[in-house]
Structure 1
Amino acid sequence: MFDSALLLTAAFVAGALNAVAGGGSFLTLPALVFTGVPPVAANATGTVALLPGYAAGAWGFREDTAPPPGLSMPLVVLLSLIGGAAGAGLLLITPDVTFRRVVPWLLLAATALFAFGPQLRSRLAGGHPSTAKATVGLLAVAAYGGYFNGGLGILLLALFGLLGQTQLHAMNGLKNWVSALLTAIAVVIYAAGGVVQWPQALLMMVAATAGGYGGARVARRIPPQWLRAGIVVTGLVMAGIFFWRQ
């Protein structure tokens, strides 16, 4: 009962965080590991749980979504699927011991990306790289998302700014579409690899969806700087706990 309550709470808050500012993986991964799920399976299971939220967000922005300069929407879809599949495949061949050692560093990196996301987007915005560089950039970020997912939204927004996209709604819409696509293909590969803990995934999926809806409803009532500070602190605490457990 305690494990179920912990997973439900983590998924609900994670769904709300993703709807408002991102950072949901900072909660789902540690919660699953703390309840006894091996690290690789925990990462895969948490990704499955958050997929409906990405899909709902993508659908909500369907009228605003537009590809960045240098990329067409079909190419964005193709790169998202290829990158997500590559990252998921890499996760499947990563031993639990290795992934356990890598997790705290990934959490720290994702937390730093989240903390300095606005400055990063500001410094990168305004350029117009070639289609080749845009292709490599999106492919690399999609592969990262298929492997770990934490901090993915910040990376995508920074990339779109680098590519010269300036409309926030278009950027957020595309971020959700890319996240949903790469997560969907990653989930298929995780499932084929047998690393998804389906009872936990389905339980958390319901809570994450409810949290996403609730988070969207209250988003305007919470100061953004409070949310960002809370997510950064959560990421640092979770990384510290993983380092300590090693």
Structure 2
Amino acid sequence: MVLDFSSHWHYVWLVAASLIAGVMNAMAGGGSFVSFPAMMAMGVLPVQANATNTVALWPGQLTSVAALREDVHIKLLPAVVTAAVFGGLTGAAVLLRTKQVTFLHQIPWLLLMGAVIFGVSGRISRWLWTRSSTPHVRHTPKMLPLFVTLFPIGFYIGYFGAGGGFLVMTVLALFGVEEMHTLNALKVVMACLSNMVAIGTFIVSGAVLWRYCVVSMVFAGLGGYVGAQYARRMNGDVLRAIVVTTGCVMAAYFFWRNG
């Protein structure tokens, strides 16, 4: 008996893309550049593809929060958590009210913006490390200005999200947060919370396609485990270049597709 795999190619692609996304997120980030287009390749509408992809990749963020909880700056949590929750909720609500064709035309620009942000994140990280190694008087930023500045980033994460974490780190650094581990921990907390409230909104509205979400979630988790084993062995600049190239290629594809 000959099995016909042609009708199931989309599941094979989703499994492969989810594995790759999990590996990328564990090693450098940017897994959505692969997993989100894979969701759309299954014939899922753009808004539902983004919602389903967000749910599928979220558990990896949750485990990261658990691992980094000791590095969180407690005094900054009120502003970070509030901006994450309200920003993510607003972004998700706006996404669900966005017309499919409108979001489809936004996709290449969002992917390209995410790739650019990721591309410059190396220089930002080095700048942050330089600031972290220089002794300064530690102070706590004022909460209201910090919330106002972080809210649009929370909105972006809830709406699409690629590269949002690096924006969080940059804003916190500009407000005087200099310890790199603290910046990274707060970045993960904000991304996790923004996506969490977005996920709740997506689930309640019925925007998540669970038959695809579960498959992607399982294999992204497996890819994350594999990627974590090799993360420290890989050259960071090489990984960043791979992620940025992937994002640019996906953006170019959607520009061509929408043209």
TM above 0.5: yes
1:88–1:189 contact (8 Å) kept in structure 2: yes
CA deviation vs aligned residue, 1:15-49 (integer Å, no higher than 9, x gap): 22122221111111111111211111111111001
Conserved in 2, the CA contact under 8 Å of 1:22 and 1:153?
Answer: no
Aligned equivalent of 1:197, options 192, 195, 209: 209
Letter in 1 for 2:21: A
1:206 CA drift (Å) = 0.9
Aligned match of 1:23 = 30
CA distance in 1, matches of 2:95, 2:102: 10
2:146 is aligned to: 134
Aligned pairs (5 A) from 1:180-219: 180-219=192-231
Q: Give the match for residue 32 of structure 1.
A: 39
73 and 149 in structure 1: CA distance in 2 versus 1, 3 angstrom threshold: same
Asked if 1:240 corresponds to 2:246, the answer is no
Secondary structure, aligned partner of 1:116: helix
Choose which of 140, 161, 165 in structure 1 pairs with 2:177: 165
What residue number does 1:230 align with?
Answer: 242
Can you list the C-alpha shifts for 1:100-133, whole angstroms capped at 9, x where unaligned?
000001111111111011334538x969864332
Gaps of 5+ in 1: none
Range that drifts further, 125-134 or 90-99: 125-134
Question: 4+ residue stretches of structure 1 with deviation over 4 A?
Answer: 125-130
Contact 2:80 2:186 in 1 (8 A): no
SS in 1 for 2:85: helix
Partner residue in 2 for 1:92:
96
Equivalent-residue separation in structure 2 for 1:83 and 1:184 (angstroms): 11
**TM norm structure 2:** 0.88
> Aligned residue for 2:86?
82
Q: Residue 149 of structure 1 aligns to a residue in which SS?
A: coil
Question: 1: CA distance between counterparts of 2:121 and 2:250?
Answer: 19
Distance in structure 2 (CA, Å) of the matches to 1:192 and 1:117: 34
Tell me the percent identity. 40
Measured in 1, the distance between the counterparts of 2:47 and 2:190 equals: 22
Distance in 2 (CA, whole Å) between partners of 1:72 and 1:59 is 18
Greater alpha carbon shift after TM alignment, 114-123 vs 200-209:
114-123
Distance 1:162 1:232 in 2: 25
Partner Cα separation in structure 2 for residue 140 and residue 80 of structure 1: 9
Between Structure 1 and Structure 2, whose CA radius of gyration is higher?
Answer: 2
Q: Equivalent residue of 2:73, what SS?
A: coil
Note if contact 2:27-2:227 (Cα within 8 Å) is conserved in structure 1: yes
Contact 2:79 2:143 in 1 (8 A): no
Gaps of 5+ in 2: 1-7
Q: Is the 8 A contact 1:117 1:158 kept in 2?
A: no
Report the counterpart of residue 6 of structure 1 in structure 2.
Answer: 13
> CA contact under 8 A between 2:76 and 2:143: conserved in structure 1?
no
Matches within 5 A, 1:98-117: 98-117=102-121
